Amino acid sequence: MFFNIIFNDIVPIFVVMALGYAGAKMNAFTPSQTQALNKVVLNFALPAALFVSITKATRAMLFEDLTLTLVSLIGIVALFFVCYWVCRKVFHHTAAEAAVCGLTAGSPTIGFLGFAVLDPIYGATTQTGLVVAIVAIVANAVIIPIGMYLMSLAGAMGSGNGSSSGTGSAILNAVKQPVVWCPTLAVVIVLLGIKLPIAVYPSFDLIAHANSGVAVFAAGLALATVKFSVNTEILWNAIFRVFITPLCIAIAAILCGLSEEKLSMLTMACALPPAFSGIIIGSRYNVYVQDGASILAVSTLMFAFAAPFWIWFCPILQSWL
């Protein structure tokens, strides 16, 4: 099972990233072409992928288990801000860099690896779909808008002046981004109970399917333009992503009385490697590029060991608490 996950899900990330890295080293892409590629992902492929994944959920899913929804929402948002604060205060980065760090180390790549990892372990059940859907909504429709707002407030997106007087323009600038309003619109559609016709999805799927592969390829391109590093900050963020975040979520879930099966699923979902959206956003605005790409590589490698660990440790942790 874990052998299949490693070779079907983890290895392809490194292979595609290596292709991007090689392409940049061979000068196959100019800096302007790389930025254009990032823009395609950020403004078209990623918003389409988020819209498709979120609208496939239902209102009943969100309210079926309010404990699961609230633990996911409060836990992931709180840990995003912990990641943001540590990057700002401990590692002394700018607000924009800390926002990209939060989007990267503070959010799992649930859209790309959610079902790919959880289905082989727990089975393709309704409960698996519920966990993936809720975590995806939080990670994509809540965390991304928060991160984009913080970047805009810091002036990294060409708007906002870094002070309270720039809050209104920062919000407006963030909301105008397709990667913000698309998932927000999708959540509104889900909450209103509107079910889109199945015939709508193939049109979105064609561009959405390009999202993950192109995003990882672009991360390889970005890595080739900077010096890859493994330092205290990179290790901290990688450990935070695949070990500390799921541990905090697991403890909260146990204290709130979540069932053993959902606890394990939620913990595994929150232990996934960094969201590719953070890498793409950082590359698009040339913010936290080197560290973001390094965190992605190290975290993905760590996840190969973290996945079996959480399967083993969740029942033990539950018995302790």
Place of tokens 């950020």: 42
Burial class (CB in 10 A: 0-12, 13-18, 19+), 312: exposed
Counting Cα atoms < 13 Å in the Cβ hemisphere of 52 gives 22
Structure tokens at 208: 């959405």
Predicted structure pTM score:
0.84
Rg, C-alpha atoms of the chain: 18
DSSP codes, 166-190: GHHHHHHHHHTSHHHHHHHHHHHHH
Separation in Å, CA 281 to CA 12, 165, 257, 275, 309: 21, 24, 36, 11, 31
In the chain, how many domains are there? 1
CATH code for position 86? 1.20.1530.20
How many beta carbons lie within 10 A of that of residue 1, not counting itself? 10
Long-range contacts of 187-192 (CB under 8 A, 24+ apart): 187/54, 187/137, 187/141, 189/55, 190/54, 190/55, 190/57, 190/58, 190/59, 190/62, 190/137, 191/59, 191/62, 192/59
The CA-based angle 218-104-98, given to 5 degrees, is 115
- Cα 22 to chain centroid, rounded: 25
Separation in Å, CA 285 to CA 147, 177, 232, 294, 309: 13, 13, 24, 17, 36
Q: Residue 215's domain spans which residues?
A: 2-320
Spatial neighbors of 247 by CB under 8 A, at least 6 apart, are 317
Question: Distance between CA 226 and CA 94 in Å, rounded?
Answer: 19
Structure tokens at 109: 């790549």
Per-residue pLDDT of the chain (321 residues; tens, 9 = 90+): 667 777 777 788 888 888 988 998 898 988 788 888 888 888 888 888 888 888 888 888 778 788 999 999 999 999 999 999 999 999 999 999 999 999 999 999 887 788 878 888 888 777 888 898 899 899 988 999 999 999 988 886 665 444 444 577 777 877 888 888 988 898 899 889 998 888 888 888 888 777 778 878 887 887 777 677 899 999 999 999 999 999 999 999 999 999 999 999 999 999 999 988 888 888 888 899 889 988 988 998 899 889 889 999 999 999 998
Closest CA to 148 of 285, 28, 303: 285
Contact 42, 280 (CB under 8 A): yes
Question: Distance between CA 169 and CA 173 in Å, rounded?
Answer: 6
| Three-state secondary structure call for residue 109 | coil
